[in-house]
């Protein structure tokens, strides 16, 4: 048999069609009925397809699946209602006849493709509710996709391919979640489509951590950013950030220290005082980049990743994983998701890197800054305490080459860059790399450098290499950077 990766879309559909245990319904709204169409064209569809339908008219759709309180039809809640309705009908009508030897499924999608005027962005929700054993409790697989083809027909075709990939993965790859994730883009390219959210739930995925799936989406290039909330529940960014004020802090958070918390707190207090910020609609986001996750090892340590995420989530933070090394690319991404105010908290040394022209050789610094300093964006700069010097390093004594000084002054004068006020001077000596080295060594004193709840989690769960009996650690091997504060432990590029 061919390796799963080598199977074409038609071959995947045919393999499912020839499996007499797999049987179910297709319900597709928007972008045609391309998924069901592929199964019909592959041959042997009578062995797989119980029903296909497409309730395009909103009145018909509401009559069948119920109304959406948001008024939106291309949303996850609509997809789940389609699951509930169609799966109930499937079992009700066919369980007695073939339930003892059939794995039932419902494939559903709700999609908006490119309109005739090409003024919108194509995207959609696709999902499968399915059994892996006859009469077993079903599991769910849900994904969100963005379509990039500049033609509605091509977008429809891409949805068809993605739908076949998803259904195939549910029945043949459910026990290898990394293959499950990467297979979603079989016979597709990032130029055509990206998958920016995947959520697996139910008895067949009881040991799956969806946060790791989010990491894999970014790690394997299916998307550039993935999101999950304080409860660890994976989120779709465009729905979560829609009409929200966003405040983002980039860091390694290994571990999260008092300095990190001071940055969050003082930056947030300044952000919500802005005239164009509604505090009730503000979300604080902790961002981890792939580069930061690979800082110690090119192969990402999944436990270490989850250790950091557990701490961030326990503090009520929304976590973003991204592949955006430069801040202007992060801002460009966030600006597509909300028109409201966006704040970025960063250390003064990171700001210095932002003004380093060597990182803008392709587009030039002015073009990149037009994205970074959009109308709704502001940078909040946290200071540094340089050893041996009494004065703090802030925007007031910020050092730049002569040719960039007036550009910086223009941005400060127009309220695009501002020093953070009210910070705690006594915390600026804390360096996260030193704290990490102390934790690994079992050297006392690190507990005073992290929030109490963070210290408790580290000890209770033996995070970041903590071991109570470890002694005499050789600090010559530690990555201690005494001259640089811990918010600079996250390289910008």
Asked if residue 6 has pLDDT above 90, the reply is no
> Could you tell me the two tokens for 337?
């998701």
According to the 3-state scheme, what is the secondary structure of 299-347?
Answer: CCCHHHHHHHHHHHHHCCCEEEEECCCCHHHHHHHHHCCCCCCEEEEEE
Instruction: State the Cα–Cα distance between residues 102 and 133, nearest whole angstrom.
Output: 7
Mean pLDDT of 333-361: 93
Residue 416 three-state SS: coil
Q: What is the pLDDT of residues 405-444, one digit of tens each?
A: 999 999 999 999 999 999 999 998 898 889 999 998 989 9
Examine residue 255 and say whether the peptide bond preceding it is cis (omega within 30 degrees of 0).
yes
pLDDT at 113: 93
Mean pLDDT of 269-279: 96
Asked if residue 403 has pLDDT above 80, the reply is yes
| pTM over cut 0.85 | yes
Asked if residue 9 has pLDDT above 90, the reply is yes
Mean pLDDT of 88-111: 97
More confident position, 6 or 280? 280
More confident position, 30 or 344? 344
- Parts of the chain belonging to CATH 3.40.50.620: 240-427
More confident position, 307 or 487? 307
Percent pLDDT > 70 in the chain is 92
Asked if residue 485 has pLDDT above 50, the reply is no
Mean pLDDT of 16-41: 96
According to the 3-state scheme, what is the secondary structure of 231-269?
Answer: CCCEECHHHHCCCCEEEEEECCCCCCCHHHHHHHHHHHH
Residue 104 three-state SS: strand
Residue 263 near residue 487, CB atoms below 8 Å? yes
Strands 377-382 and 417-419: parallel
Asked if residue 310 has pLDDT above 80, the reply is yes
Cβ neighbours, 10 Å, residue 112:
18
pLDDT confidence band for 297 (50 / 70 / 90): low
Q: What is the pLDDT of residues 125-137, one digit of tens each?
A: 999 999 999 999 9
Asked if residue 364 has pLDDT above 60, the reply is yes
Asked if residue 468 has pLDDT above 80, the reply is no
Specify the fold of 240-427. Rossmann fold (3.40.50)
Mean pLDDT of 245-271: 95
* Sequence-separated (6 or more) residues with CB below 8 Å from residue 460: none
Asked if residue 475 has pLDDT above 60, the reply is no
pLDDT at 470: 54
pLDDT at 483: 38
More confident position, 106 or 305? 106
Strand locations in 158-231, DSSP E? 193-201, 225-228
pLDDT at 87: 98
Task: Give the dihedral of Cα atoms 398, 399, 402, 406; nearest 10 deg.
Answer: -10
pLDDT at 473: 46
Specify the fold of 4-208. Maf protein (3.90.950)
DSSP single-letter state for residue 448: G
User: 50-64, 77-91, 228-242, 296-310: which has the minimum mean pLDDT?
Assistant: 296-310
- Parts of the chain belonging to CATH 3.90.950.20: 4-208
More confident position, 362 or 475? 362
Task: Pick the closest to residue 486 from 212, 237, 261 (CA basis).
Answer: 261
């Amino acid at each position: 048999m061919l390796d799963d990766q080598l199977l074409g879309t038609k071959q995947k559909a045919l393999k499912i069609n020839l499996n007499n245990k797999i049987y179910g319904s297709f319900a597709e709204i928007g972008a045609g009925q391309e998924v069901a169409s592929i199964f019909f064209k592959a041959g042997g569809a009578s062995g797989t397809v119980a029903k296909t339908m497409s309730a395009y008219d909103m009145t018909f759709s509401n009559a069948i699946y119920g109304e959406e309180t948001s008024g939106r039809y291309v949303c996850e809640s609509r997809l789940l209602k389609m699951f509930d309705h169609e799966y109930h009908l499937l079992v009700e009508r066919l369980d007695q006849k073939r339930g003892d030897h059939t794995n039932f499924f419902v494939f559903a999608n709700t999609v908006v493709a490119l309109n005739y005027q090409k003024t919108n962005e194509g995207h959609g929700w696709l999902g499968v509710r399915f059994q892996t054993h006859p009469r077993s409790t079903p599991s769910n697989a849900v994904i969100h996709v963005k379509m990039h083809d500049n033609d509605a027909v091509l977008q429809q075709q891409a949805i068809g391919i993605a739908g076949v990939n998803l259904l195939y993965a549910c029945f043949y790859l459910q026990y290898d979640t990394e293959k499950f994730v990467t297979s979603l883009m079989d016979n597709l390219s990032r130029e055509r489509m990206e998958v920016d959210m995947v959520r697996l739930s139910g008895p067949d995925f009881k040991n799956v951590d969806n946060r790791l799936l989010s990491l894999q989406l970014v790690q394997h290039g299916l998307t550039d950013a993935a999101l999950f909330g304080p409860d660890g529940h994976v989120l779709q960014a465009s729905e979560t950030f829609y009409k929200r004020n966003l405040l983002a802090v980039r860091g390694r958070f290994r571990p999260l220290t008092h300095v990190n918390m001071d940055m969050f707190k003082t930056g947030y207090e300044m952000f919500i005082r802005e005239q164009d910020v509604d505090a009730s609609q503000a979300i604080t986001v902790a961002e981890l980049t792939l580069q930061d996750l690979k800082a110690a090892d090119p192969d990402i340590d999944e436990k270490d990743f989850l250790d950091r995420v557990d701490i961030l989530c326990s503090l009520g933070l929304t976590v973003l994983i991204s592949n955006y090394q430069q801040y202007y690319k992060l801002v460009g991404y966030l600006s597509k998701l909300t028109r409201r105010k966006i704040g970025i908290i960063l250390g003064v040394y990171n700001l210095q890197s932002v003004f380093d022209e060597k990182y803008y050789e392709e587009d030039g610094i002015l073009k990149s800054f037009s994205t970074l300093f959009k109308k709704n964006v502001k940078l909040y700069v946290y200071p540094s305490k340089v050893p041996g010097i009494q004065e703090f390093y802030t925007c007031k004594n910020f050092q730049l080459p002569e040719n960039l000084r007036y550009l910086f002054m223009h941005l400060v004068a127009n309220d695009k860059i501002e020093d953070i006020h009210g910070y705690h001077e006594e915390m600026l000596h804390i360096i996260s790399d030193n704290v990490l080295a102390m934790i690994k060594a079992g050297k006392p004193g690190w507990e005073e450098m992290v929030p109490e709840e963070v210290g408790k989690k580290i000890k209770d769960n033996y995070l970041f290499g903590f071991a109570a009996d470890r002694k005499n650690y050789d600090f010559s091997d530690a990555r201690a950077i005494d001259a640089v504060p811990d918010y600079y432990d996250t390289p910008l590029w």
